[in-house]
Amino acid sequence: WSSTNFPWTKELEAKNRNKFGNHSFRPNQREIINATMSGHDVFVLMPTGGGKSLTYQLPALISSGLTLVVCPLVSLIQDQIMHLSQANIPATYLSGNLDWSEQQEIMKDLMSCRYKLLYVTPEKIAKSGALSRLLDNLNSQGHLSRIVIDEAHCVSQWGHDFRPDYKSLGVLKQNFPKTPVLALTATATARVKEDVVQALALENCIVFKQSFNRANLRYYLRPKTKKCVEDIDLFIRTNHSKECGIIYCLSRMDCEKVAEKLRDCGHKVSHYHGSMDPMDRTHIQKLWSKDKINIICATVAFGMGINKPDVRFVIHHSLPKSIEGYHQECGRAGRDGQPSSCVLYYQYSDYIRVRHMITQGVTEQTGAPRDLSSHEQALKTHKDNLLRMVSYCENDVDCRRLLQLIHFGEKFDPSLCARTCDNCLKESGWVEKDVTNIARQLVELVTRTGHSHSSTYILEVYRGSMSQNVKKQRHDALALHGAGRHLAKGEAARIMRHLVTEEILNEDVKKSDMYGSISSVLKVNHLKASGLLSGKHNIVLKFPASD
Ligand code: ADP
Ligand code: ZN
């Protein structure tokens, strides 16, 4: 597909220069354009900042008819149209925000082919009869040249950003079987990709995939302590003074608290979350885009549709919900290719908190579960995604890039990291230890104490605590009481957490009291534990060599 002998090559290169001001193509851009121009269905996986927009905007310009672009957010659409109109490219959009007469005007202009690109939100496709008549008309006159699905991963329930309206986009292929479809996304595991291809009914589609490694981003994981915000303040002042960044927080309240503390430290900062007035949100995003404020403390509601190229840092104040989501959120840093930092503050107890939120969130989304099996399946997927994220955080030896890219089915040579992640920066290297015996003892302790205690408590007993509570429960009389006394600090905890991420032990959320604090108990998953207990499976973990 990289040929420069296609009938459109000359015009393509000229328009890339004159209309977009680019001197060359980025990886895969030319190939994608050639494939879609040849009339194929195309699926594109390209990391954020890779230059996806050009792969449909240029074809739109050099094709005769209209290109339909489905895009999840109006703010994203407006941003694109602003850029296009600056380059004198006729583009417009239809959304619920416009009043009837405006819509009529646009429809008329669309019929007379005044525009090259039409952006719509997915609910328009699902609900607007006028739009579907317009597309039918254009199509019967041969004026519908291409259909583009941006952020195509939103089709998939397994992705981190499922949007129900995307499900209905399959009708496009039904109604316009001859029109080439171009699906674009910056996140897709193999499973999400299959979902997208199926839901959009893509035929013999050509897939372009490139490495998701973002060489200009540096990844650091730091322990989250009570002094987390002080640490963030110091990090920003030392490395990114007066530069621009995003701090992702778990809850609305966290956003406000973190923002307030940083403001006290002298930063220009604002919070941003879903329960704010939409006007206020737009206002804050504008201030940030224009560098009037440097830092936004936000929930993940702040993200898609941010095109600021010079974001220098993305900080996660709490555990992200999945590796995919984490990669995507970090991807908002350094779109201009300049070095940028991603810092993740991790403490194991956030796992329980996030899991609790996921359980509640899924119940809210699906309501009283009508279809129990799909509800449970969705919940299970989210929990699995979260466990993979915990496992990423618990790993303190392997290259962060490698750990992220494995998740996208990519191999990565860690020497290419060149010490740009916290694990590769460690001097000491690592050693492997067989911890099968300790793991077995921990599982047995969970059983002996009746599957009704927290991991903290189990560890206390294992290390030989004589606390009031231990004595009251008579767990000081257990044979395994104190069996882990000799272990280095944190070692048993690390093994315990490994057992959780491998689902040999499950953390069951017990209750959330009226103050919102959550407690959990450990239970043995007998199915998964059997290999360990019967001696069939050994557990070998890597530890930093200095330990
Ligand atoms: P994505 O949608 O993949 O995140 P964008 O389409 O927003 O990426 O492009 C990211 C940035 O790269 C934009 O500022 C865009 O102008 C720039 N860009 C895209 N293609 C090229 C190119 N061939 N040469 C130079 N800059 C490019
Ligand atoms: Zn590394």
Q: Using 50, 70 and 90 to split pLDDT, how confident is the model at 375?
A: confident
Q: Using 50, 70 and 90 to split pLDDT, how confident is the model at 408?
A: confident
Sign of the torsion angle spanned by Cα atoms 354, 360, 362, 365: negative
Q: Which ligand is nearest to the CA of 414?
A: 2
Strand, helix or coil for residue 127: helix
Secondary element (H or E) of residue 534: none
* Model pLDDT, residue 86: 87
Token pair of 183 as six digits: 């699906």
Ligand 2 centroid from CA 107, angstroms: 52
Q: Which residues contact 104 (CB under 8 A, 6 or more apart)?
A: none
Summarize the confidence of residues 366-373 as an average pLDDT.
54
Q: With a 6 A CB cut-off, is 49 part of the ligand 1 pocket?
A: yes
Summarize the confidence of residues 198-202 as an average pLDDT.
91
Q: Which residues contact 443 (CB under 8 A, 6 or more apart)?
A: 499, 504, 505, 524, 529, 532, 533
Residue 471 CA, distance from chain mean position? 45
Rounded to whole angstroms, the Cα distance separating 519 from 452 reads 11
Q: What are the residues facing 505 on neighbouring strands?
A: 524
Ligand 1 centroid from CA 103, angstroms: 30
Q: With a 6 A CB cut-off, is 29 part of the ligand 1 pocket?
A: yes
Q: Which ligand is nearest to the CA of 418?
A: 2
Ligand 2 centroid from CA 420, angstroms: 6
Residue 52 CA: nearest ligand 1 atom is: 3
Residue whose CA lies nearest to ligand 1 atom number 26: 22
Residue whose CA lies nearest to ligand 1 atom number 13: 51
The larger pLDDT score, comparing residue 312 to residue 166, is at 312
Ligand 1 centroid from CA 294, angstroms: 23
DSSP 8-state assignment for residue 488: P
Residue of 17, 18, 20 with the most ligand 1 atoms within 8 Å of its CB, for mutation: 20
Report H helices in 2-127: 9-18, 29-37, 54-62, 74-86, 100-111, 122-127
* Model pLDDT, residue 512: 60
Interior CA angle at 472 toward 471 and 473, to 5°? 90
Three-state SS string across 318-333, please?
CCCCCHHHHHHHHCCC
Q: With a 6 A CB cut-off, is 26 part of the ligand 1 pocket?
A: yes
Ligand 1 centroid from CA 178, angstroms: 29
Rounded to whole angstroms, the Cα distance separating 186 from 297 reads 23
Summarize the confidence of residues 486-495 as an average pLDDT.
88
Residue 53 CA: nearest ligand 1 atom is: 6
pTM for the whole structure: 0.78
* Model pLDDT, residue 516: 59
Ligand 2 centroid from CA 537, angstroms: 29
Q: What is the pLDDT of residues 144-161, one digit of tens each?
A: 999 999 999 888 876 667
Q: With a 6 A CB cut-off, is 184 part of the ligand 1 pocket?
A: no
Taking alpha carbons only, the member of 105, 113, 53 closest to residue 305 is 53
Q: What is the dihedral of CA 427, 433, 439, 441, to 10 degrees?
A: -120
For 275, phi then psi, to 5°, come to: -90, 10
Res 302 pLDDT > 50: yes
Residue of 26, 31, 148 with the most ligand 1 atoms within 8 Å of its CB, for mutation: 26
Q: With a 6 A CB cut-off, is 46 part of the ligand 1 pocket?
A: yes
Ligand 2 centroid from CA 545, angstroms: 17
Res 416 pLDDT > 50: yes
Strand, helix or coil for residue 467: coil
Q: Percent of the chain at pLDDT above 70?
A: 95
Res 350 pLDDT > 80: yes
How high is the ipTM of this complex? Answer: 0.98
Ligand 1 centroid from CA 364, angstroms: 37
Q: With a 6 A CB cut-off, is 494 part of the ligand 1 pocket?
A: no
Strand, helix or coil for residue 480: coil
For 401, phi then psi, to 5°, come to: -65, -45
Q: With a 6 A CB cut-off, is 57 part of the ligand 1 pocket?
A: no
Residue written as tokens 């699995």?
Answer: 384
The radius of gyration of the chain's CA atoms, rounded to the nearest angstrom, is 26
How many residues does this entry show for the chain?
A: 547
Q: Which residues contact 407 (CB under 8 A, 6 or more apart)?
A: 189, 323, 324, 327, 388
Interior CA angle at 188 toward 116 and 132, to 5°? 35
Q: Using 50, 70 and 90 to split pLDDT, how confident is the model at 366?
A: very low
Q: Which ligand is nearest to the CA of 21?
A: 1
Res 410 pLDDT > 90: no
Summarize the confidence of residues 140-146 as an average pLDDT.
93
Q: What DSSP string runs through 161-177? A: S--GGGGGGHHHHHH-T
Q: Percent of the chain at pLDDT above 90?
A: 61
Q: With a 6 A CB cut-off, is 210 part of the ligand 1 pocket?
A: no
Summarize the confidence of residues 482-501 as an average pLDDT.
90
Sign of the torsion angle spanned by Cα atoms 379, 385, 389, 391: positive
Ligand 2 centroid from CA 139, angstroms: 50
Q: With a 6 A CB cut-off, is 320 part of the ligand 1 pocket?
A: no
Secondary element (H or E) of residue 468: helix 468-472
Residue written as tokens 């993740």?
Answer: 344
Q: With a 6 A CB cut-off, is 19 part of the ligand 1 pocket?
A: no
Residue written as tokens 């429960």?
Answer: 473
The larger pLDDT score, comparing residue 535 to residue 301, is at 535
Strand, helix or coil for residue 235: helix
Q: Which ligand is nearest to the CA of 26?
A: 1
Ligand 2 centroid from CA 534, angstroms: 36
The mean of the pLDDT values for the chain is 89
Q: What DSSP string runs through 288-357? A: HHTTSS-EEEE-TTSBTB---TTEEEEEESS--S-HHHHHHHHTTS-TTSS-EEEEEEE-THHHHHHHHH
Widest CA span in the chain:
86
Q: Are strands 430-434 and 206-209 parallel, antiparallel or unpaired?
A: unpaired
Residue whose CA lies nearest to ligand 1 atom number 20: 51
Residue 47 CA: nearest ligand 1 atom is: 3
Q: Are 185 and 45 in contact (CB under 8 A)?
A: yes
Ligand 1 centroid from CA 20, angstroms: 10
Token pair of 373 as six digits: 């099996």
Q: With a 6 A CB cut-off, is 52 part of the ligand 1 pocket?
A: yes
Taking alpha carbons only, the member of 532, 537, 501, 528 closest to residue 388 is 501
Q: Using 50, 70 and 90 to split pLDDT, how confident is the model at 354?
A: very high
